């Protein structure tokens, strides 16, 4: 392979640094409550993102709700005051959006404890059915958007010095495909899963935990509209509900950071694997 190759960079935040070790000890031993925790959620105007945001708020936490569409965040804004909810508008494909969401949490609530990379785009169809723009959109939102949020979170977690949680909303499509027809989407979800594994190993010495939650079919307009369920109506079956995914996120955030889930797959009764 031609080129200059990778350049070594100084290690930062490694085990062995007394300050890091003290922060790690505090972070991994502390059981977490959602009360007063500050969570950034991307795609909060959608079904799953909205369910996550509501559950955190109902449990006494504070949320930075990010979305591209102002109208999609209106239900959250109408239900919760500025003392509990901050709103950030922007495109997750832009790294500056992730930085701004984390900064909004610090400005509004003084810190950020967790981020949830939920924003996603998917198209159903054969590999030749996608336009070049479709492919770029899936890669940029699902993969790059997750990387940008993780980077913004890590910077803030290191500033705070007591760890944090990165939760990635993946999909079982990143692990296996029954009937095919979503190859590029599946590739982006596989990238998220492996990103999560790698981040957890890179950052665990600092008390920063990364967990990927990978559900199967969820009863959402996003899933129903792209043909993934075929002739089945997800609202009439035993598919997962957005609230199920929110409960999984909440469970993860409540656990002491000495517990590492890394990858959590979720299946409904009506889907086999």
Cα 29 from Cα 263, distance rounded (Å): 21
Cα 206 from Cα 166, distance rounded (Å): 13
Cα 254 from Cα 33, distance rounded (Å): 6
Please pick, among 124, 185, 197, 251, the residue that the annotation labels catalytic. Answer: 185
What's the token pair of residue 201? 């190993």
For residue 7, give the DSSP letter. Answer: P
Helix (H) or strand (E) holding 28: helix 18-29
Q: How far is CA 237 from CA 129, 134, 231, in A?
A: 28, 29, 12
Helix (H) or strand (E) holding 195: helix 183-203
Is 185 in the active site? Answer: yes
- Among 209, 39, 30, CA closest to 114: 39
Q: According to the 3-state scheme, what is the secondary structure of 60-95? A: CCEEEEEECCHHHHHHHHHHCCCCCEEEEECCCCCH
Q: Which residues are catalytic?
A: 185
């Amino acid at each position: 392979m031609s080129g200059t190759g990778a350049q070594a960079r100084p290690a930062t935040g490694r085990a062995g640094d007394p300050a890091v070790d003290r922060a790690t000890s505090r972070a991994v031993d502390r059981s977490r409550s959602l009360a007063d925790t500050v969570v950034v959620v991307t795609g909060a105007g959608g079904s799953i993102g909205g369910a996550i945001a509501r559950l955190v708020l109902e449990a006494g936490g504070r949320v930075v709700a990010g979305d591209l569409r102002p109208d999609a965040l209106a239900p959250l804004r109408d239900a919760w005051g500025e003392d509990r909810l901050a709103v950030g508008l922007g495109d997750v494909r832009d790294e500056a959006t992730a930085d701004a969401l984390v900064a909004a949490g610090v400005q509004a609530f003084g810190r950020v404890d967790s981020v949830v990379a939920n924003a996603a785009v998917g198209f159903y169809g054969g590999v030749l059915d996608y336009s070049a723009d479709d492919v770029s959109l899936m890669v940029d939102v699902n993969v790059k958007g997750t990387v940008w949020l993780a980077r913004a979170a890590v910077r803030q977690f290191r500033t705070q010095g007591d760890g944090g949680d990165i939760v990635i909303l993946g999909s079982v499509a990143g692990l296996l495909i029954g009937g095919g027809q979503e190859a590029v989407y599946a590739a982006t979800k596989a990238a998220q899963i492996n990103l999560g594994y790698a981040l957890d190993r890179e950052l665990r010495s600092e008390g920063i935990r990364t967990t990927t939650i990978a559900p199967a079919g969820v009863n959402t307009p996003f899933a129903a509209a792209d043909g993934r369920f075929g002739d089945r109506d997800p609202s009439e079956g035993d598919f997962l509900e957005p609230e199920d995914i929110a409960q999984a996120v909440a469970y993860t955030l409540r656990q002491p950071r000495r517990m590492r889930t890394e990858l959590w797959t979720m299946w409904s009764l009506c889907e086999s694997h």
